Amino acid sequence: MPLRTIPLLDTAELAQRQFQQTVRNTRLGQPEAPVLDPRQRPLRDLRISVTDRCNFRCTYCMPKNAFGRDHAFLSHEEVLRFEEITRLAQLFVHLGVRKIRLTGGEPLLRKNIERLIEMLATIDGIDLTLTTNASILAKKAQSLRDAGLQRITVSLDAMDDITFRRINDVNFPLDRVLEGIDAAARVGLTPIKINTVVKRGINENAILPLIRRFKGSGHILRFIEFMDVGATNGWRMDDVVSAAEIVAAIDAEFPLEAIDPNYQGEVAERWRFKDGSGEIGVIASVTQAFCRDCTRMRLSTNGRLFTCLFASHGYDIRALLRNDATNDELLRAITTVWQNRDDNYSERRTANTPRAEKIEMSYIGG
């Protein structure tokens, strides 16, 4: 697919130069075949972390004891610029990526995120979406939609204010998130997916209230097993509520039947309510690993490529970008990273897998 020209921007000189090079160098031709890793998995999805910062301190992701006042967040210079992200996104699409998810940290905290969305929305043939804690979604839903965002995923772990505030650990009220979801629905950022991380002893009681609230709304609830991402969230296998337990709890009150995945490699197992009032998903990342179908590359806030959520090292593509690499050089680098990928962490995980080196989720994007 030829890369499309995107409008010139009023930005810093270096970014301008790199950007103009992309525009000059747009005739890349069609790749001959999908890029496959050694396990024959194609490169199809790209998750881009646009900031490592967040206004929440969810206990399973950025616990206060590890992300408090002394935590060193990335500097402005270290963070990839919009022109750099867009250029890389174009190259990824050229190599077969069809879905791009903006994430973080909290992506809506990135200044002028709408501008990045506008730039990415000019790339043909991609499904463009974003995952947010929805803390400022009510204010931003319309501008995100106007910028070209197609749909949105919201994280929401409880339907009662006390539990919700306890999990976000910054005393953030539940109502504001619910207002954000309503605003997103009004402007057409649909279908809305709502992600709930279930942690034993913390919020398994939230499963049925969430179902009662959103069943029949058209929004798709997805329950995620608590994962051992990073090294700071104190993960223990005992805290994982399995997807099977979650489905059984829902099925007992609201009968469910399994449905086929939308596409190969979909991470959520799909179930629909037998009464026809919609569907839910469960993401069994711990108890039923789906590495075999994993088609995701992650681009971190500071321009490292990660081929697995549980990786300890990333490839520094920012260094190439900022050293005037050509598009061909960048394409070769991305292809090589993917072709050398042999990740299957979740298939090998045990309760005792060491956690020291793994990169934090907020840094590479969930």
55: which residues sit within 8 A by CB, 6+ positions away? 106, 109, 133, 135, 170, 172
For residue 113, the partner it binds in ligand SF4, ligand SAM, none, with Cβ less than 5 to 8 A by kind, is: none
Q: How far apart are CA 361 and CA 195, in angstroms?
A: 15
For ligand SF4, the binding residue among 104, 180, 303, 314 (CB under 6 A) is 104
CB atoms within 10 A of CB 262: 9
Choose between 28 and 185: whose C-beta lies nearer to ligand SAM. 185
Task: Give the interface segment with ligand SF4, choosing from 30-38, 93-101, 245-253, 286-294 (CB under 6 A).
Answer: 286-294
Choose between 103 and 300: whose C-beta lies nearer to ligand SAM. 103
Return the structure tokens found at 298: 């992650």
Interface with ligand SF4 in residues 145-174 (CB under 6 A) = 155
Q: How far is the CB of 286 from ligand SAM (least distance, A)?
A: 9
Q: How far is the CB of 10 from ligand SF4 (least distance, A)?
A: 30
Return the structure tokens found at 92: 């990824």
Q: Helix, strand, coil: what percent of the chain each, to 5? A: 35, 15, 50
Q: How far is the CB of 270 from ligand SAM (least distance, A)?
A: 18
What letter represents residue 11's amino acid? T
Choose between 95 and 308: whose C-beta lies nearer to ligand SF4. 308
Choose between 90 and 131: whose C-beta lies nearer to ligand SAM. 131
For residue 18, the partner it binds in ligand SF4, ligand SAM, none, with Cβ less than 5 to 8 A by kind, is: none
Sign of the torsion formed by the C-alpha atoms of 282, 287, 291 and 293: negative
Question: Going residue by residue from 55 to 74, which x/- string records binding to ligand SF4, judged by CB under 6 A?
Answer: -xxx--xx------------
For residue 226, the partner it binds in ligand SAM, ligand SF4, none, with Cβ less than 5 to 8 A by kind, is: ligand SAM
Choose between 51 and 295: whose C-beta lies nearer to ligand SAM. 51
Task: Give the interface segment with ligand SF4, choosing from 4-12, 103-111, 137-145, 214-222 (CB under 6 A).
Answer: 103-111
Q: How far apart are CA 11 and CA 23, in angstroms?
A: 15
Chain positions contacting ligand SAM, by CB under 6 A: 54, 60-61, 103-104, 106, 131-133, 155, 195, 197, 224, 226-227, 229, 233, 361-362, 366
Sign of the torsion formed by the C-alpha atoms of 49, 345, 237 and 220: positive
Q: How far is the CB of 18 from ligand SAM (least distance, A)?
A: 27
Is residue 106 part of the contact set for ligand SF4 (CB under 6 A)?
Answer: yes
What letter represents residue 332's amino acid? R
Give the single-character DSSP code of 157: -
212: which residues sit within 8 A by CB, 6+ positions away? 159
Return the structure tokens found at 350: 């045990």
The conformational region for residue 195 under phi > 0 = left, psi -120 to 50 = alpha, else beta, is: beta
For residue 227, the partner it binds in ligand SAM, ligand SF4, none, with Cβ less than 5 to 8 A by kind, is: ligand SAM
Choose between 223 and 254: whose C-beta lies nearer to ligand SF4. 223
Is residue 310 part of the contact set for ligand SF4 (CB under 6 A)?
Answer: yes
Q: How far is the CB of 200 from ligand SAM (least distance, A)?
A: 13
CB contact at 8 A, 112 and 85: no
Give the single-character DSSP code of 240: B
Choose between 103 and 327: whose C-beta lies nearer to ligand SAM. 103
Task: With CA atoms as reference, report the closest residue to 87 among 22, 32, 152.
Answer: 22
SS3 of 283-298: the string is ECCCCCCCHHHCCEEE
Is residue 19 part of the contact set for ligand SF4 (CB under 6 A)?
Answer: no
In the Cβ-directed half-sphere of 190, how many Cα atoms lie within 13 Å?
A: 11
Residues that bind ligand SF4 (CB under 6 A): 54, 56-58, 61-62, 104-106, 133, 155, 290-291, 294, 308-310, 343-346, 362
